[in-house]
Structure 1
Amino acid sequence: MATVESTSDKRTANNGVRHQSRLLTEDEKALVTRIKDAGATFIQLIHEIAEVPPSVEKLDDRDLELTRTHVEDAVMRAVRAVTT
């Protein structure tokens, strides 16, 4: 499957739901990258706490699994706030 960077002006190319999207400024693109990097760093910390590599998709600890889910949700909502 072809991929498109989330900060690319062509980011709707592989998205069947959002058919139109406004172009982001360079500052907005940088902010989206910072948001996603912060989320990735936090998720990496969660995996360190669980003592499992980041490649593990399901964590055995319910609290850590919920934490990761909420981080993913927070990142999605923060990116939406920037991009809408």
Structure 2
Amino acid sequence: MTDTVDSTSDARTANNAVRHTYRVLSDTEKAQMQRVKDIGAAFIAELHAIGGTGLETDRFASRDLSLANTHAEDAVMRAVRHITK
């Protein structure tokens, strides 16, 4: 079993202990999922820039920025769940 699998790979169940079956995504759905994740990552990077913290840390400069990060992660997860359902 591999340690990591690209999220757009058809082999994405290889390291997932909970969800055992996935449908094969179309190329359009894979691109949508990648865009959503890229947008989320860019937003989180901007939160670090606003607070003056580096991407190498998971800590934010304030509780508000930490909450913004949590909500961004949730938004990405929910969008991906919609795409992959």
* TM-score computed with the length of structure 1 as normaliser: 0.96
Runs of 4+ in 1 over 4 A off after TM superposition: none
User: 3-state SS of the aligned residue for 2:37?
Assistant: helix
Q: How is 1:12-31 mapped onto 2 (pairs within 5 angstroms)? A: 12-31=13-32
**1:68 maps to what in 2?**
69
Separation (CA, whole Å) in 2 of partners of 1:28 and 1:52:
33
Q: How is 1:2-81 mapped onto 2 (pairs within 5 angstroms)? A: 2-81=3-82
Structure 2: state its 5+ residue gaps: none
User: 3-state SS of the aligned residue for 1:16?
Assistant: coil
Structure 1: state its 5+ residue gaps: none
Alpha-carbon contact 2:51-2:65 (below 8 Å) kept: yes
Q: Deviations over 1:19-57 (max 9, x none)?
A: 000000000000000000000000010000010111111
Separation (CA, whole Å) in 2 of partners of 1:45 and 1:77:
21
Separation (CA, whole Å) in 2 of partners of 1:76 and 1:27:
18
Identical aligned residues as a percent: 52
Separation (CA, whole Å) in 1 of partners of 2:56 and 2:39:
18
Separation (CA, whole Å) in 2 of partners of 1:59 and 1:48:
10
2:83 aligned with 1:82: yes
